[in-house]
Amino acid sequence: MSGARPRATLAVLASAVLFGTTGTAQALGPAGLDPLAVGAVRVVLAGSVLALLALALGAYRGTRPAWPPVLVGAIGVVVYQLGFFTGVRWSGVAAGTVVALGSGPVWAGLVEWLVTRRTPGRTWTAATALAVLGVVVLVLAGGGDDGGSALGLLAALAAGLGYGVYTVTGARLISDGQRSSGAMGLMFGAGAVLLLPLLVLRWPGGLDGPGGLTVALYLALVPTVFGYLLFGAGLRVLPAATVATLTLAEPVVATLLGVLVLGERITPGGAAGALLVLGGLSLLALPDTRVAARRG
């Protein structure tokens, strides 16, 4: 078990790397993509694949899903998708991203405390504060030309809450005996059912051409299916609040891709923000000395 925590940490960081490619993938896609249609098709396709993959792997064999938590997790998935894309659209990429991603770990810690009555430790608090500060510096350093909207920021805040809800719910399903792939398949499969009417309503939204279809398939299969399988593997070992903080590596990856792939310029402030995020993540990557002391 001594190597389980480092492996889980690497799995979550790998998922964050994949999540961080979504913005670049959309930017490289055709003009005119409807962000709500993109968010809906991403979950509908990925949820279907995750559910079928879990079924093929026997993840549901011998277990009876607890449907109320599954529905709560699915609602979290839907709220995150709709809140994130709406927040980015109404308040701008910078403001929407920082509120959604920066509030996610805080919401996860609060939801986990409400569900388990287990207060996140001092290491999590320090790491989260450092990483959230880094995200704020990172995004603000990119410039303030995106404007702001109170409704957009509220939508992005709701996205962070949705992320916290499905992260904690996934951890709860796994602790109750579901395999990690089964928990992701259940939540995203149910989320696909909930978002299918929206996809029909917003269709085609620019997704019916070869470029739009390529973007949709990439977003569904790589950062969502593969990414959330890694994410679920991390949830099997790490607390939900820790997992949520580790995924703050996502905006660092997104910034690097913007520089390397899209030709954007990184500022000294952006570099400082990235270092703050990496510093916070490094705290969480340290061995759990309390567990080691108890074992000794």
The mean per-residue pLDDT over the stretch 8-37 comes to 85
How high is the pLDDT of residue 47?
Answer: 93
Please write the tens of the pLDDT for every residue from 242-293. 888 888 787 778 777 877 887 767 678 777 877 787 787 777 665 544 433 3
Banded model confidence at residue 92, pLDDT cuts 50, 70, 90? low
Q: Which amino acid is at 84?
A: F
Within a domain: 113:
yes
Q: Which amino acid is at 229?
A: L
Within a domain: 111:
yes
Within a domain: 17:
yes
Within a domain: 294:
no
Helix, strand, coil content of the chain in percent (nearest 5): 80, 0, 20
How high is the pLDDT of residue 287?
Answer: 52
Within a domain: 295:
no
How high is the pLDDT of residue 45?
Answer: 94
Please write the tens of the pLDDT for every residue from 160-217. 899 999 999 998 898 888 888 899 999 999 999 999 999 999 998 888 888 889 999 9
Give the CA angle between residues 240, 246, 250 to the nearest 5°: 125
How high is the pLDDT of residue 144?
Answer: 45
Please write the tens of the pLDDT for every residue from 37-77. 888 999 999 999 999 998 888 888 777 778 899 999 999 99
How high is the pLDDT of residue 75?
Answer: 96
How high is the pLDDT of residue 139?
Answer: 64
How high is the pLDDT of residue 291?
Answer: 38
Structure tokens at 55: 């079924």
How high is the pLDDT of residue 264?
Answer: 67
Statement: residue 91 has pLDDT above 90: no
Share of the chain above pLDDT 70, in %: 86
Please, which residues have CB within 8 angstroms of residue 32's CB and are 6 or more apart in sequence?
206
Cα 224 to the center of its chain, rounded Å: 9
Q: What is this structure's pTM?
A: 0.79
Within a domain: 169:
yes
Please, which residues have CB within 8 angstroms of residue 112's CB and are 6 or more apart in sequence?
118, 120, 168, 171, 239, 240, 241
Domain total of the chain: 1
Contact 136, 212 (CB under 8 A): no
List C-alpha distances in Å: 263 to 47, 87, 125, 257, 266. Answer: 33, 25, 35, 9, 9
Within a domain: 40:
yes
SS (H, E, C) 64-115: CCCHHHHHHHHHHHHHHHHHHHHHHHHHCHHHHHHHHHHHHHHHHHHHHHHH
Q: How many CB atoms lie within 10 A of CB 69?
A: 20
Please write the tens of the pLDDT for every residue from 26-39. 778 888 888 788 88
Host domain of residue 161: 4-289
List C-alpha distances in Å: 261 to 19, 253, 265. Answer: 16, 11, 11
Please, which residues have CB within 8 angstroms of residue 291's CB and are 6 or more apart in sequence?
none
Within a domain: 56:
yes
List C-alpha distances in Å: 225 to 11, 46, 147, 242. Answer: 14, 6, 33, 21
Contact 19, 223 (CB under 8 A): yes
Please write the tens of the pLDDT for every residue from 109-147. 888 888 877 777 788 788 878 877 877 776 676 544 444
The mean per-residue pLDDT over the stretch 4-29 comes to 86
